[in-house]
Amino acid sequence: MADVDPVTQAVVEPMDPRPASIGAATVSRYLPRRGRSTVGAWCFLDYYGPDDVDGGPGMRVGPHPHTGLQTVTWLLQGDVVHRDSLGSVQSIRPGQLNLMTAGAGIAHAELSPDPHPRWLHGVQLWVALPDAQRHVPPAFEHHPDLPVADLGAATATVLVGELAGVRSAATTFSPLIGADVTVTGPGRAAVPLAADFEHALLVVDGTVVVDDRSFPTGACVYLGRARTGLVVAGDPAGRFLLLGGEPFTEPLMMWWNFVGRTADDIVEARADWESPSDGGTRFGDVAGHPAGRVPAPPLPLGRLKPR
């Protein structure tokens, strides 16, 4: 149940996840969800782990397509290799950012290397591209060194956007913030926020106290708008992912791995991925990945509706 500030209308609204399957793994999915499909332009949030993958394959997601979005990959533990149809081959480790702009269409795959670390723990995020940029050419970026903001009793690694005067070099197409905040304490930390943004946070380690409410690892909380700052504490320590942006007011059609505006966008993207006659011209092929292409599920005819 949400607590609402009667003056600012800022809220503290727990967001319960639903289980979802990615390959052989089960993840906690917080976005999209009934009643709230976006936070700013953030339109997808999966949280997984820590999973003990010792003796197993770890992450194994075969080649699949995307349109109209950016993927943001952030690891807390583990090691994953990204491959895409642009020819990118990039290992990502904790503290590094992989950012893929799908635009008009791209295919990619993710695989734990062999050998790989015992634990796999992280988040997978999508950002919806504004209509004016959703057909841009696909692109991939790897950022091994991200800027860190000093917040007194906390430090914040800035993945995308700007926080406390510290800006990430990662490409964005709308006003956003994504930061990994560790409350180092003792005491409370003041996190500056843009008042015209809406925000949410996901606790990824320990316990975080927000507006005098404690949230454990795995809790996700929508914080509303009109906040100029957030006072947080660890109990005794905590780490969370802060997400925010200007409210995304454009209509969105989201289905499987595609983000569009109409049902026709989705039907066309699926047909291009599934059709042998496409010849890989829209999405391309992912070279060097041991698994085959992931087939698109059947369309839910009559149920494709914009949010």
In the structure encoding, which two tokens stand for residue 305, read together?
Answer: 């509706």
- Quick one: what percent of the chain has pLDDT higher than 70? 93
Region for residue 35 given its phi and psi (left: phi exceeds 0; alpha: psi -120 to 50; beta: otherwise) = left
Q: Kindly indicate the confidence band of residue 7, based on its pLDDT and cuts at 50, 70 and 90.
A: very low
Write down the domain spans for the chain: 3-245
Q: What is the pTM of this model?
A: 0.94
C-alpha 202/C-alpha 210 separation (Å) is 11
pLDDT the model gives residue 6: 44
Q: What is the mean pLDDT of residues 4-21?
A: 77
pLDDT digits over 52-108, tens only? 999 899 999 999 999 999 999 999 999 999 999 999 999 999 999 999 999 999 999
Name the nearest CA neighbour of 283 among 258, 260, 253: 258
What is the chain's mean pLDDT, rounded?
A: 92
Q: 31 to each of 81, 211, 237, 243, 258, how far by Cα in Å?
A: 24, 23, 26, 12, 14
CATH number, span 3-245: 2.60.120.10
C-alpha 15/C-alpha 254 separation (Å) is 19
9 pLDDT above the threshold of 70:
no
DSSP lists the bridge partners of residue 67 as 258
pLDDT the model gives residue 25: 76
pLDDT digits over 231-287, tens only? 999 988 899 999 999 999 999 999 999 999 999 999 999 999 998 555 568 999 999
Report yes or no: 160 and 126 within 8 Å, Cβ to Cβ: no
**Burial of 96: CB neighbours in 10 Å, binned 0-12, 13-18, 19+:** middle
